[in-house]
């Protein structure tokens, strides 16, 4: 059974805008960000998703945990971050259409935080705001059936991936399949669904904008519950995705430092290249700037220079490929 929603002009406009931005992001190789940008975006994602759930650790503390440094803070908050790092580092291993994969991710994300992580709930649950009940989830006996239907929708329905990801996110919040961790699993699995078709989403921290719009996020979830369909939530999340893509495109168009250009170029996976190849990636720089970059790369032992004058080419140190 297909989850209920309506395609609105707003949804169509967002899909058109997002599709154009994905094309631009791919053209700039933003689906393969530099190691530094990849790390920064991963930290933002973890910080924002856990902050929504009440985690108190700062970006600096999360960075320290990733770097395996000692951090002072609530034990539960530190464990939440360690679990999230583990899960997000393995994003590419999850199958978006697999219930088993979904449960495995929950088991990793909530390990040591709840009873029986990686298992659907067996008790009734309600969502409270203060003393008021804002949402009564479906009975526990229906969870396996409802989640099965939801994964069938992901596998078989011909909806666009952008819409499927939003519908799945909303339905996880509505079904509330776990005693805890539903919000972070909804956001995580939306990323898994999107990145399976569009790799740029693996490192797109749209959770940051969700966190900044947290009041609207919960207000729209409640509104959709009352209406019995997810249209408003789809519009909201597509708007968030559109803004997130806009932000990384702005970041890409800023002036990069010499080291940022070198790191980004290495991240593209090229082995053997010339100065012209380098300039084809950074079209805004002069030949003199490209030469300085390449000399710095050699001095830093990141590039190996081979040949002289017009026969000069470079290799990335530590990367061997007989095809390049």
According to the model, what pLDDT value does residue 324 have?
Answer: 43
- Clarify whether residues 222 and 164 are in a common domain: yes
Same domain, 155 and 69: yes
Quick one: 104 and 193 in the same domain? yes
Choosing from 252, 272, 293, the residue where a domain stops is 252
Residue 323, pLDDT > 50, answer no
**H/E element holding 127?**
strand 126-129
In this prediction, residue 163 has a pLDDT band, given cuts at 50, 70 and 90, of very high
pLDDT of residue 31: 62
Residues 17 and 102 grouped into a single domain: yes
How many structural domains comprise the chain?
2
What pLDDT sits at residue 319?
A: 65
How many whole angstroms separate alpha carbon 169 and alpha carbon 237? 9
Q: Is residue 278 located within the same domain as residue 229?
A: no
Residues 191 and 291 occupy one common structural domain? no
- In which residue are the tokens 């032992």 written? 301
H-helix or E-strand spanning residue 66: helix 59-66
Question: Do 221 and 114 have their domain in common?
Answer: yes
Give pLDDT, residue 130: 66
Place 133 in a pLDDT band, splitting at 50, 70 and 90: low
- Residue 157 in domain: yes
Higher-pLDDT residue of 187, 36: 187
Distance between CA atoms of residues 318 and 133, nearest Å: 58
Which of residues 24 and 291 earns the better pLDDT score?
291
CATH number at residue 88: 1.10.3290.10
* 241 and 272 share one domain: no
Q: Which of 264, 288, 263 is nearest to 275 (CA)?
A: 288
Examine residue 56 and state whether it is found in any structural domain, yes or no. yes
Helices within 157-230 (DSSP H only)? 161-175, 182-197, 207-212, 214-227
Helix (H, G, I), strand (E, B) or coil at 272: strand
Mean of all residue pLDDT scores within the chain: 90
- Within this chain, do residues 271 and 225 fall inside the same structural domain, yes or no? no
pLDDT for position 270: 80
Task: State the average pLDDT over residues 181-210.
Answer: 92
Final residue of a structural domain among 252, 275, 301 = 252
Q: Is the pTM value of this prediction over 0.85?
A: no
- 34-43, 115-124, 251-260: which has the minimum mean pLDDT? 251-260
Is 324 a domain residue? no
Out of 252, 270, 290, pick the residue that ends a domain: 252
Same domain, 267 and 238: no
Q: Residue 4: inside a domain, yes or no?
A: no
In a shared domain, residues 295 and 248: no
232 plus 129 within the same structural domain: yes
Q: Which domain holds residue 26?
A: 9-252
Report helix, strand or coil for 178. Answer: coil
**Residue 306, phi then psi, degrees to nearest 5:** -130, 130
């Amino acid at each position: 059974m297909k989850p209920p929603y309506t395609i609105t002009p707003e949804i169509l406009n967002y899909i058109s805008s997002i599709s154009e931005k994905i094309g631009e992001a791919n053209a700039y190789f933003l689906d393969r960000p530099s190691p530094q940008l990849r790390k920064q975006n991963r930290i933002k994602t973890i910080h924002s998703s856990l902050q929504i759930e009440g985690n108190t650790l700062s970006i600096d503390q999360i960075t320290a945990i990733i770097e395996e440094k000692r951090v002072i803070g609530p034990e539960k908050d530190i464990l939440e971050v360690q679990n999230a790092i583990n899960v997000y580092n393995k994003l590419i291993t999850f199958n978006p259409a697999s219930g088993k994969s979904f449960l495995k991710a929950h088991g990793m994300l909530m390990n040591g935080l709840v009873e029986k992580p990686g298992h659907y709930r067996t008790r009734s649950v309600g969502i409270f705001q203060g003393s008021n009940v804002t949402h009564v989830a479906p009975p526990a006996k229906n969870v396996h059936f409802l989640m099965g239907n939801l994964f069938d929708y992901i596998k078989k329905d011909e909806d666009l991936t952008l819409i499927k990801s939003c519908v799945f996110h909303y339905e996880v919040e509505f079904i509330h399949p776990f005693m805890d961790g539903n919000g972070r699993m909804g956001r995580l699995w939306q990323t898994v669904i999107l990145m399976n078709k569009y790799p740029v989403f693996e490192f797109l921290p749209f959770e940051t904008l969700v966190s900044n719009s947290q009041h609207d996020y919960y207000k729209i979830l409640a509104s959709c519950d009352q209406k019995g369909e997810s249209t408003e939530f789809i519009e909201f999340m597509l708007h968030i995705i559109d803004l997130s893509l806009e932000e990384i495109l702005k970041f890409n168009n800023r002036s990069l430092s010499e080291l940022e250009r070198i790191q980004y170029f290495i991240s593209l996976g090229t082995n053997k290249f010339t100065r012209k190849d380098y300039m084809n990636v950074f079209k805004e720089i002069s030949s003199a700037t490209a030469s300085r970059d390449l000399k710095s790369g050699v001095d830093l032992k990141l590039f190996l220079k081979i040949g002289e004058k017009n026969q000069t080419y470079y290799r990335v140190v530590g990367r061997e490929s007989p095809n390049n």
